[in-house]
């Protein structure tokens, strides 16, 4: 499937139909069933909605912003006529009644909501591995992780099961699967997209955001879900980027380092200014984030935990139980520490257009692998992957992951080429400016990649 703008042109011109888009999504879903991207699907309902869109187009009515476009939704948002299970067998807390507000806004803009995507259990993890629903497999190499927790959304977009997917991002859950699957992922500023009708993991860190084929596609989806207009142009001067070089030192695979530095060089050649900045508080972000998210997740799931925690897998129950043991002083201390990290990042961003860094410190590891080798030795997969993204969601800053091609040999000679992402982080509330800058970066160094066979 192509990106949104040319698809809308074809739909308006009658050379493409919404019904054919659903049929194409169904064919891709059947062909790639082993990748396990979808949690629930309603092909009959989707075809009926698509035919309504086609009838509207034939009648000469004005086409809406997302007319006839098939879009998937992560299985922690309520969708009319579909169950919400969030990848767990544990009983879920009661959600707001009715459809999630962001889903309603997508429908009102003409989108065809046809499926819910698989995810890391209750969104508490970044690998896409799930004891209950099965692992979501990477489309570039099914033996590898797809990223999480919006794993199914990333895979579905990469292989053309719909034009876009909507995920959630608490610590990186949009950007990590976007990077691992070779697509674009946008996490907006905290509060920009409403979460009504969705299952919280951490109410002070949770965001919703799109995974799509380009920055422009993310702009269109963000405008609909946030009910705003993104019109701001890129800076009228050379872009200025800040790289947290000291913090990144030792955190990257050598192949990721080399790939990133080549992209930075190309941005400099295109006229950008790239400066290194010190971030003395950033190393403490991971511990701070972990305390906040585990405490809030344990509170969200307090009834199920009080009943014994049955239905949570061994991949998430220990973290929830650890959250139950945290004291009020632990939680408040982490909130205060977050204020310090946010202040540090705000001060840096006051003097530049965006932070610039790899989306993940490591490329997609093998499924089941718990550690990776980085420049300075062994690091847990969680820290190597989630550690690159969590400070910015914890602090509510908009962040964008752009695909920048494939990296060869990151896990040794003969291992497959795997996708890499470049992450841009902007000022709080500066979503339009970041997306405009993202368009420019995409034009300079972006490199779309497609999984083999798709």
Angle (CA) 48-49-54 rounded to 5° is 95
Pick the range with the lowest mean pLDDT from 73-82, 221-230, 381-390, 411-420: 411-420
* pLDDT reading at 244 higher than 90: yes
The pLDDT of residue 453 is 86
* pLDDT reading at 147 higher than 80: yes
* pLDDT reading at 2 higher than 90: no
The pLDDT of residue 271 is 96
Residue of 3, 17, 74, 116 marked catalytic: 74
Smallest CA-to-CA distance from 254 within 383, 108, 106, 384 is with 384
Give the model's confidence band at 454: pLDDT under 50 very low, under 70 low, under 90 confident, else very high: confident
CB atoms within 10 A of CB 23: 16
Query: What does the alpha-carbon distance between residue 6 and residue 213 come to, in Å, rounded to a whole number?
Result: 12
What are the phi and psi torsion angles at 452 (to 5°)? -55, 130
- Cβ atoms of 172 and 180 closer than 8 Å: no
* Average pLDDT of the segment spanning 230-251: 88
The pLDDT of residue 369 is 97
- Cβ atoms of 241 and 354 closer than 8 Å: yes
3-state secondary structure of 167: strand
* Average pLDDT of the segment spanning 304-317: 98
pLDDT tens for 346-388 read: 999 999 999 999 999 999 999 999 999 999 999 999 999 999 9
Give the model's confidence band at 126: pLDDT under 50 very low, under 70 low, under 90 confident, else very high: very high
The pLDDT of residue 412 is 85
* Average pLDDT of the segment spanning 385-409: 97
* pLDDT reading at 255 higher than 90: yes
For the segment(s) 4-226, the CATH number from 1.10.3720.10, 3.90.1300.10, 3.40.50.20, 3.30.565.10 is 3.90.1300.10
Helix (H) or strand (E) holding 398: none
The pLDDT of residue 1 is 64
* Average pLDDT of the segment spanning 82-107: 95
Which residues, at least 6 apart from 447, have a Cβ–Cβ distance to it below 8 Å? 403, 404, 405, 406
Average pLDDT score over the chain: 96
Pick the range with the lowest mean pLDDT from 92-106, 144-158, 279-293, 329-343: 92-106
* pLDDT reading at 38 higher than 80: yes
Query: What does the alpha-carbon distance between residue 84 and residue 264 come to, in Å, rounded to a whole number?
Result: 42
Smallest CA-to-CA distance from 89 within 56, 63, 42, 122 is with 122
Residue of 150, 173, 202, 359 marked catalytic: 173
The neighbouring-strand residues paired with 440 are none
173 catalytic? Reply is yes
149 catalytic? Reply is yes
Residue 49 CA: distances (Å) to CA of 45, 296, 338? 6, 38, 45
Helical packing angle, 285-300 and 317-325, nearest 10°: 90
* pLDDT reading at 234 higher than 70: no
- Cβ atoms of 380 and 366 closer than 8 Å: no
DSSP output for 289-352: HHHHHHHHHHHHTHHHHHTT-TT--TTTHHHHHHHHH--HHHHHHHHHHHHHHHHHHHHHHTTS
pLDDT tens for 43-84 read: 999 999 999 999 999 998 789 999 999 999 999 999 999 999
The pLDDT of residue 415 is 87
Query: What does the alpha-carbon distance between residue 170 and residue 287 come to, in Å, rounded to a whole number?
Result: 15
The pLDDT of residue 231 is 79
The pLDDT of residue 413 is 86
Residue of 3, 17, 146, 149 marked catalytic: 149
380 catalytic? Reply is no
The pLDDT of residue 233 is 65
3-state secondary structure of 196: coil
């Amino acid at each position: 499937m192509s990106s949104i703008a040319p698809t809308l042109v074809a739909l308006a011109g009658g050379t493409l139909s919404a019904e054919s888009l659903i049929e194409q999504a169904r064919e891709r879903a059947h062909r790639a069933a082993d990748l396990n991207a979808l949690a629930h699907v309603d092909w009959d309902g989707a075809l009926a909605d698509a035919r309504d869109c086609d009838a509207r187009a034939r009648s000469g009515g004005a086409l809406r912003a997302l007319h006839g476009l098939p879009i998937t939704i992560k299985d922690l948002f309520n969708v009319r006529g579909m169950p919400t299970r969030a990848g767990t067998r544990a009983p879920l807390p009661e959600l707001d009644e009715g459809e999630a507000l962001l889903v309603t806004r997508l429908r009102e803009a003409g989108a065809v909501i046809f499926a819910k995507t698989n995810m890391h259990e209750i969104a508490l993890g970044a690998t896409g591995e799930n004891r209950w629903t099965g692992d979501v497999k990477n489309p570039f190499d099914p033996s590898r992780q797809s990223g999480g927790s919006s794993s199914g959304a990333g895979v579905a977009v990469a292989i053309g099961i719909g034009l876009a997917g909507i995920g959630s991002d608490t610590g990186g859950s949009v950007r990590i699967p976007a990077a691992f699957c070779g697509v674009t992922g946008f996490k907006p500023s905290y509060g920009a997209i409403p979460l009504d009708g969705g299952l919280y993991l951490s109410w002070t860190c949770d965001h919703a955001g799109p995974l799509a084929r380009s920055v422009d596609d993310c702009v269109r989806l963000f405008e609909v879900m946030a009910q705003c207009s993104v019109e701001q142009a890129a800076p009228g001067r050379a872009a200025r980027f800040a790289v947290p070089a000291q913090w990144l030192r030792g955190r990257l695979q050598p192949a990721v380092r080399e790939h990133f530095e080549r992209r930075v060089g190309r941005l400099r050649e295109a006229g950008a200014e790239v400066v290194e900045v010190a971030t003395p508080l950033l190393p403490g972000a991971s511990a701070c984030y972990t305390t906040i998210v585990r405490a809030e997740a344990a509170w969200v799931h307090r009834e199920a935990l009080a009943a014994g925690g049955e239905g949570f897998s061994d991949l998430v129950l220990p973290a929830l139980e650890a959250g139950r043991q945290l004291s009020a002083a632990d939680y408040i201390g982490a909130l205060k520490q977050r204020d310090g990290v946010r202040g540090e990042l705000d001060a840096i961003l006051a003097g530049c257009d965006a932070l610039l860094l790899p989306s993940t410190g490591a490329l997609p590891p093998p499924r089941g692998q718990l550690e990776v080798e980085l420049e300075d030795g062994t690091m847990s997969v969680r820290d190597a992957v989630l550690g690159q993204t969590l400070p910015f969601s914890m602090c509510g800053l908009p962040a964008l992951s752009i695909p920048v091609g494939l990296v060869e040999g990151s896990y040794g000679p003969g291992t497959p080429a795997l996708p890499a992402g470049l992450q841009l982080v902007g000022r709080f509330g500066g979503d339009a400016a970041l997306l405009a800058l993202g368009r420019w970066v995409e034009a300079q160094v972006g490199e779309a990649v497609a999984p083999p066979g798709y």
